[in-house]
């Protein structure tokens, strides 16, 4: 799937100092798989180029706004192996640049004129912010459990997947309630799987993209796999886990066999989630006309890419 150009310098005023270079840094290195999801939807639903571009830009703007704010909240020095915007420019600029992207989303959608799309997008942004807010309260909470993290990830991560699935139908003015409900549920499950797959990268599981290891743990955050791994740990063992600086230290603490067993159990648990996701994807046949049913096949391939990180 070809890369869509999300950011164009002409989209933003040139008289604002540093804004364009900040966005240039931000958008130049992302994988943009949310916009690729939109392209996948667009291909099957036969969206117009304008619709596809608007939706892809919207989701990437929202996602990148959240990254700008996230990095500042977490005091994270790096974003995609480059200096984070709040450090390279200033915290004030990072906040304002994030806010500006969200404002731009509303301007673009208002111009398009689909009121339901505007309303739904605003709801998703609210969910995202709620998730950010709650997640911040869980930093240095070393007893947090997977169930609680799932609820945060539903707001913070899955909300954008739900949007990617539903917004193209809304843009086409297809408001079938049961279709949207099914897509919403699929988005929830896929968001959960994506986040859990992403959290495994922290522990060098299927980390082909070379993500920095133990990033979450070092910044005081127990991610979903860490919470799963530590679910039966004593207080003392949890204390030791939070002090681990390398993956070898974690494996030594847990024991290599126990670590591998935990990964296997985690995968088995998520395979059940994939089963549920596939059940929902198949049920879409009821709602989609024959020419759009290719979407079901595309949907079926997503967990493999997003959880098991297999290249498509």
77 sits near other proteins (criterion: CB under 8 A): no
Number of residues lying near other proteins (CB under 8 A): 26
177 sits near other proteins (criterion: CB under 8 A): yes
280 sits near other proteins (criterion: CB under 8 A): yes
Q: How far is CA 256 from the centre of its chain?
A: 30
73 sits near other proteins (criterion: CB under 8 A): no
178 sits near other proteins (criterion: CB under 8 A): yes
Exactly one of 137, 260, 264, 297 binds other proteins (CB under 8 A); which one?
A: 137
Exactly one of 276, 291, 293, 310 binds other proteins (CB under 8 A); which one?
A: 276
Smallest distance, other proteins to C-beta of residue 72, A? 19
Cβ neighbours for 21, distance < 8 A, ≥ 6 positions apart: none
Distance CA 309, CA 47 (A): 27
Which residue, 46 or 231, has its beta carbon nearer to other proteins? 231
232 sits near other proteins (criterion: CB under 8 A): no
151 sits near other proteins (criterion: CB under 8 A): yes
Binding residues (CB under 8 A) for other proteins: these are 133-134, 137-138, 141-145, 147-148, 151-152, 177-178, 181-182, 184-185, 275-276, 278-280, 282-283
């Amino acid at each position: 799937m070809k890369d869509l150009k999300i950011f164009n310098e002409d989209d933003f005023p040139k008289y604002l100092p540093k804004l364009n270079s900040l966005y240039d840094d931000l958008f130049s290195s992302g994988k943009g798989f949310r916009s690729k999801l939109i392209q996948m939807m667009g291909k099957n639903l036969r969206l117009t180029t304008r619709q596809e571009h608007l939706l892809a830009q919207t989701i990437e703007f929202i996602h990148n706004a959240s990254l700008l704010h996230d990095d500042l909240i977490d005091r994270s020095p790096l974003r995609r192996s480059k200096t984070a915007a709040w450090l390279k420019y200033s915290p004030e600029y990072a906040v304002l640049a994030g806010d500006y992207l969200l404002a731009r989303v509303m301007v673009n959608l208002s111009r398009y004129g689909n009121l339901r799309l505007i309303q739904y997008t605003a709801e998703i942004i609210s969910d995202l912010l709620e998730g950010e807010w709650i997640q911040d309260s869980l930093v240095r909470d070393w007893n947090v459990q997977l169930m609680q993290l799932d609820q945060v990830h539903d707001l913070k991560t899955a909300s954008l997947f739900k949007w990617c699935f539903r917004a193209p139908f809304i843009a086409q003015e297809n408001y079938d309630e049961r279709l949207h409900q099914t897509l919403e549920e699929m988005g929830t499950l896929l968001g959960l799987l994506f986040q859990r797959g992403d959290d495994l990268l922290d522990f060098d599981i299927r980390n082909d993209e070379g993500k920095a290891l133990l990033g979450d743990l070092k910044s005081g955050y127990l991610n979903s796999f860490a919470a799963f791994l530590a679910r039966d740990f004593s207080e003392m063992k949890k204390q030791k886990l939070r002090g681990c600086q390398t993956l070898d230290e974690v494996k030594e603490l847990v024991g290599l066999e126990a670590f591998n067993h935990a990964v296997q159990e985690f995968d088995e648990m998520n395979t059940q989630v994939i089963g549920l996701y596939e059940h929902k994807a198949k049920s879409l046949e009821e709602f989609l006309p024959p020419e759009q049913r290719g979407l079901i096949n595309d949907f079926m391939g997503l967990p493999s890419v997003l959880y098991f990180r297999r290249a498509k």
